[in-house]
Structure 1
Amino acid sequence: MTGPFDQHVTFLYAEDPAPSWRFYEDVLGLPLAQDQGSCRIYAVAAGGRAFLGVCRARGPRVTDNPRVQGGAVVTFVHSDVEGWHDRLRDKGVEIAAPPRFSDTYRVTSFFFKDPAGYTLEIQRFERPDWPAPGT
């Protein structure tokens, strides 16, 4: 059968994953779905459909630029972008700029990095053609 998949997991890798594990658990508050020893998998969306795995890397990062081939930006979609900005700032997360609206993509978002250097984004779609959560 083809079509949408049942679940999704994105894996990130860190030479020392412990600071990243603390970040995703304590700062972002993601619930731990599974601890595999050298890899922890977190639930990132209601309904058990989307997960983020943070694992011990087998080598150092090649680049910090997420917008080159092989790079990544992990985006969390939430209706309260401004609230997340304030929460993360209050927890000491370095954020380059406050939430901004993009005319090009019709989203409001801001960017920050996790302890392993991955670029993360919290975003709200400001367009009626984006599927609502749970659809």
Structure 2
Amino acid sequence: MNWLMVIAGAVVGAPLRYLTDRAVQTRHDTVFPWGTFGVNIGACAGLGFLTGLASAAAVPQALQHLVGPGLCATLSTYSTFSFETVRLAETGAKYFAAANAAVSVVAGLGTAYLATALAQAAVG
């Protein structure tokens, strides 16, 4: 049953990642990959919040599988982040490549931490 929940989450997460990435990136006239950055931060927030809820209260395992490895794992995209960072460096946008790597990691970890704390505080 858990694998069905992962698949159900992935069915939503993968197209949501692609559509959100395209929608965000078309609104920015820059080489910085704002679309990938946005979906990765959103996934960090979702997974952090789920982690906070699961550590502070009983969260059904099926819901954990749906949101965690299903939705959030397919919403985030480490491979695209890596590819875009290398592409930026190869095309001479080394500042953007370094900024993408540093800001994505720091913002992702910070977002996950804050979302975990928010969920724990909300549950009490």
Q: TM-score, length-normalised on structure 2?
A: 0.23
Q: Could you say which structure has the greater relative contact order, defined with CA pairs below 8 angstroms and 6 or more residues apart?
A: 2
If each structure's strand is expressed as a fraction of its own residues, which one has the higher value?
A: 1
Q: TM-score, length-normalised on structure 1?
A: 0.22
If each structure's helix is expressed as a fraction of its own residues, which one has the higher value?
A: 2
